[in-house]
Amino acid sequence: MANESDHNIEVGGVVTTDATPCSMDAACYYERYIAKEPRQYKGMERLQYVDEIIRGDDTSCISQLRMRRNTFFRLCNLMRKKGLLNDTRMICMEEQLAMFLHTLGHNATNRAIGSRFSHSGETVSRHFQRVLNAVVGLYPDLVKPASTVTPPEILSNNYWSAYFKDCIGAIDGTHIPAFVPSHEQAKFRDRKGNVSQNVMVACSFDLKFQYVLAGWEGSASDARVLQSALTREDKLFIPNGKYYVVDAGYANVPGFLAPYQGVDYHLNEYGTERSPQDKKELFNYQHSLLHNVVKRAFGMLKARFPILKTSPLYKIETQVKVVLACCILHNFIQGVGGDVLEVEAHNAEIDEEIDLVEVDDVAQSQLLGVSQMEFNDWIMKRDDVAERMWNDIHCRPHPIDS
């Protein structure tokens, strides 16, 4: 488990802790961390291992660090350029980042990383925190809010551009296993009885995260987390006239287009011999095709970074930062073309949580400060889209799954 101090900082809207040597006597700090005699043989062995990973073939680098060699070096250059991470007396920046990525990509313990890279557990913990804070520092640069421009994925699809031209992405939540003290587990326990944190993201159609809110207790509803995202200082930004598609766990209010409740929705509810029978089912089916992008993004994220599938033994503040770091790294990898060699991520299972609780649209709209007129207009807009969809497929041949 990482050594952490009680100094609080705020990163990406999340209060976290930052490990510093402030509480230590200067001489003690020098003796413990700086004045270490290098173990010559182990040092050479360690450097050789790191060099084999980052200068070998891409397949090995993706397997160990979850990204290509070129992607890894570009990430190093970005961090160095922004002054977020640098070499220490004993460990170069590349090795620090390699240890960190190996931890996330294999859910490795400090002991396993220490053995692999020939470092003590304390050294591994200290550098894990150092790199973690550096990666989270990239949030403003790599997690960009949506723009007013219609996404190319919508424009290039004649069907979607006809009915969803103002859609900028999809929003959903996922539960990440959490480790918390026993006296706090009740509020972190989700509907399935697991201890987790509820993480909400906004995702673009190119599988990048546009907003990430981590740290909410697993017992919190998706609607409650969204309400927080809209009222906090670093709130979710929605361009005027645009909207996100959301599932039935959220209210159908301006800015958030939800499916019809009580109607088949998820893609697996429509088989090869089962097609939409009315306008509401047709709308829900097309809506689910759009919303599926965030499920794919979650699937890729968890395939790349298996640490998100377990409860790492860190303080909850560090666990929150780990989620943010994984999302940031995911965006960076996607931004440089993705890593198609990574079969695990490329063929990742869809992250599906279909046992959601449908919300009361009227009550939720009131909590979000939406007027009755605005609410009614938004309902009518959805009805109009559904009506046009249904009429169009009966007037002319048109594939509903384009």
- Nearest CA to 400 out of 242, 98, 163 is that of 163
When mean pLDDT is compared over 107-111, 139-143, 271-275, 375-379, the highest value belongs to: 139-143
Task: Express each pLDDT in 138-175 by its tens digit.
Answer: 999 999 999 999 999 999 999 899 999 999 999 999 99
Mean of the per-residue pLDDT values for the chain? 84
Least confident range from 63-67, 145-149, 393-397: namely 393-397
Tokens of residue 68, six digits? 């290509």
DSSP 177-217: E----GGGHHHHB-TTS-BEEEEEEEE-TTS-EEEEEEEEE
- In what helix (H) or strand (E) does residue 224 lie, and over which residues does it extend? helix 222-231
Task: Express each pLDDT in 30-39 by its tens digit.
Answer: 454 444 544 4
> Measured between alpha carbons, how far is 139 from 331 in angstroms, rounded to an integer?
10
**∠ at Cα 331 (328, 336), nearest 5°?**
130
> What is the average pLDDT across 40-52?
67
Output the CA torsion 343→349→350→355 (10° steps). Answer: -160
Q: Where would I find the H helices in 68-109?
A: 69-81, 93-106
- pLDDT band, very low/low/confident/very high, at 396 (cuts 50, 70, 90): low
> Measured between alpha carbons, how far is 95 from 108 in angstroms, rounded to an integer?
16
> What is the average pLDDT across 385-396?
85
For residue 306, is pLDDT > 90? yes
- In what helix (H) or strand (E) does residue 10 lie, and over which residues does it extend? strand 8-11
What is the pLDDT at residue 73? 94
Q: Which residues pair with 200 in a beta bridge?
A: 173, 213
- pLDDT band, very low/low/confident/very high, at 270 (cuts 50, 70, 90): low
Residues of the chain with pLDDT > 90, as a percent, come to 63
Evaluate if pTM is beyond 0.75: yes
